[in-house]
Amino acid sequence: AQSVTQLGSHVSVSEGALVLLRCNYSSSVPPYLFWYVQYPNQGLQLLLKYTSAATLVKGINGFEAEFKKSETSFHLTKPSAHMSDAAEYFCAVSDPGANSKLTFGKGITLSVRP
Amino acid sequence: GAVVSQHPSWVICKSGTSVKIECRSLDFQATTMFWYRQFPKQSLMLMATSNEGSKATYEQGVEKDKFLINHASLTLSTLTVTSAHPEDSSFYICSVDGDQETQYFGPGTRLLVL
């Protein structure tokens, strides 16, 4: 069985500060990993994904994440936060070849202070 | 990626009535779609996997007779909430199983049952 742990429910940063959202996973097979962002009352938008190619993955809006197998982590970072980054962020894992079913973390709310 | 639409974006209905939600894949032929529900401040809960031309696969604890799923074409899946009750009020989101085993999400449908 797969699982995702996103510690904490809320992260607050100042505009221009580093954003770091943590994600740890558990999987019995080499996983695919995803970060999605959700703005209020909207669906999920794919930020980036790891599918066993480069371990450092660059996504949209200046976000990137690094797959670290030894730490079973896939933390999301952005060097400089924007007010528009305030949203809910979900990390998810899937088992490649197993019908793409996703297991989501509980999500983290990112607030950006002016 | 895939562009996914949902209709309606929000709906209010009376208790005991049925509500149909449509999920369309606008630029990708999707043999598999997924239906989720999301309660406020919570993560997404997978309800069922919708397979084109065959029966949906429901997750444990989801009543298949209450949440009817039809996936009659490669671009359309529908979720019908039958005999809706206030506890069915939620945010329903669909996704398309797109390229590289990546899910692309619709904008969601807010259901309020009075």
Q: Give the model confidence (pLDDT) of A26-52 as tens digits.
A: 988 888 999 999 998 888 999 999 988
Buried b (16+ CB within 10 A) or exposed e, A76-100: bebeebeeebbbbbbbbbbbeeeeb
Q: Is A83 helix (H, G, I), strand (E, B) or coil?
A: helix
Q: Chain B: give the shortest CA distance to residue A15, in Å.
A: 24
Give the percent of chain A with pLDDT over 90.
77
Residues A30 and A66: their CA atoms lie apart, in Å, by 15
| pLDDT of residue A96 exceeding 80 | no
Helix then strand count (H, E) for chain A reads 0, 12
Q: Chain A: give the shortest CA distance to residue B93, in Å.
A: 7
Per-position pLDDT tens, chain B of length 114: 789 999 999 999 999 999 999 999 999 898 899 999 998 888 999 999 998 888 899 999 999 999 999 998 999 999 999 999 999 999 999 999 988 778 999 999 999 999
Q: Could A99 and B32 be called an inter-chain contact, meaning their C-beta atoms sit closer than 8 Å?
A: yes
Does the beta carbon of B106 lie under 8 angstroms from any beta carbon of chain A? yes
Within 8 A of B107 by CB-CB distance, chain A residues are: 42-43
Q: Chain B: give the shortest CA distance to residue A98, in Å.
A: 9
Does the beta carbon of B4 lie under 8 angstroms from any beta carbon of chain A? yes
Do the strands A44-50 and A32-38 form a parallel or antiparallel pair, or are they unpaired? antiparallel
Within 8 A of B42 by CB-CB distance, chain A residues are: 106-107
A with B: how many residue pairs have Cβ under 8 Å apart?
55
Residues A102 and B33: their CA atoms lie apart, in Å, by 12
B102 to chain A: nearest residue by CA?
Answer: A100
What is the structure's pLDDT at B66? 96
What is the structure's pLDDT at A52? 80
Residues B91 and B89: their CA atoms lie apart, in Å, by 7
Identify any residues that bridge with B77 across adjacent strands, giving them in sequence order.
B23
What is the structure's pLDDT at A60? 95
pLDDT class for A112, splitting at 50, 70, 90?
Answer: very high
Cα A17 off chain centre by: 18
Residues B22 and A91: their CA atoms lie apart, in Å, by 26
Which residues have CB under 8 Å from B54's CB, separation 6+? B71
Identify any residues that bridge with A73 across adjacent strands, giving them in sequence order.
A24, A68
pLDDT class for A98, splitting at 50, 70, 90?
Answer: low
Q: Could B101 and A101 be called an inter-chain contact, meaning their C-beta atoms sit closer than 8 Å?
A: no
Measured CA angle at A108 (ends A103, A111), to 5 deg: 155
